[in-house]
Amino acid sequence: MPKAESPKHTKAPEDPTRPVSPHRVAIPPTPAAAARSDPIDTVKTSPSTSPKRSLEKDKENTPKPSAAPASKAARAASEAPEPRPEPISPASAVKSAQPSAGNKEVTPPSKPPIDMEIFGQILELDDDPEDREFSKSIVDNYFEQVVATFKDMDDSIKANDLLKLSNLGHFLKGSSAALGVWKVQATCEIIQHVGKLRPAGDQPVSLTKKEAIERLKELKSQAEEEYEEAKKWLEDHPGGD
């Protein structure tokens, strides 16, 4: 047998005309509650739907303009082979190596055959700078010694007398050094060593007697040329000027 349901009690509606109890006080709603009860719901914009994001997305989806095709002339210039340098003929090379009229090579002045530091000391011994009697006598005496020494060298070469040639070279070396004739001095020093079959100058090894005689002939001719150069300079510059 079904159980009888008890009757539900319903709350009677309040009478608006009924006076409010002094113990019942109306509490105003808090700002948070007022915001929740606001009939206008604030729409929150998600990051995915922000205007800035939308603009960036539209920009990405916008197709980029393709590069303009290169012109035919530009393609032909890029594909053309690099020009090869033209070969230089020997005549052109010689012509280009020659200095132009406006760019001439400056040749340094050659050193005189006389060492002026030594010869100047002899000139200082002259009593009369105009006469140059003392220095002139020294120069003339040297000229005579050179001529006589060269003659003795010729005789010693014919006799294959190496020791005599060595002594003559030593003598003329000292005379030339006293006057400042440095080229003849250097050559006569080589003659001195070759006459003793010793390495000297451009000859790094010892020579045989026959080789030494041939070498001394060459050195004697060289000394004569150097002497003629020094003699001309001394005659043209008696006062060293």
DSSP codes, 152-219: HHHHHHHTT-HHHHHHHHHHHHHHHHHHTBHHHHHHHHHHHHHTTT--BTTB-S---HHHHHHHHHHH
- pLDDT surpassing 80 at residue 239: no
How confident is the model over 131-147, as pLDDT tens digits? 899 999 999 999 999 99
Confidence of residue 56 (pLDDT cuts 50, 70, 90): low
Statement: residue 73 has pLDDT above 60:
no
Contact 142, 175 (CB under 8 A): yes
pLDDT greater at residue 21 or residue 204: 204
> What pLDDT is stored for residue 199 in this prediction?
77
Alpha helices in the chain (DSSP H): 31-36, 51-61, 72-79, 90-97, 116-123, 133-158, 162-179, 182-194, 209-236
Q: Which amino acid is at 131?
A: D
Rounded to whole angstroms, the Cα distance separating 60 from 57 reads 5
Domains of the chain: 116-236 (1.20.120.160)
Alpha-carbon gap, residue 165 to 156, rounded angstroms: 6
**Residue pLDDT, tens place only, 153-205:** 999 999 999 999 999 999 999 999 999 999 999 999 999 999 998 877 666 67
Identify the residue whose tokens are 């004697």: 220
pTM of this structure:
0.55
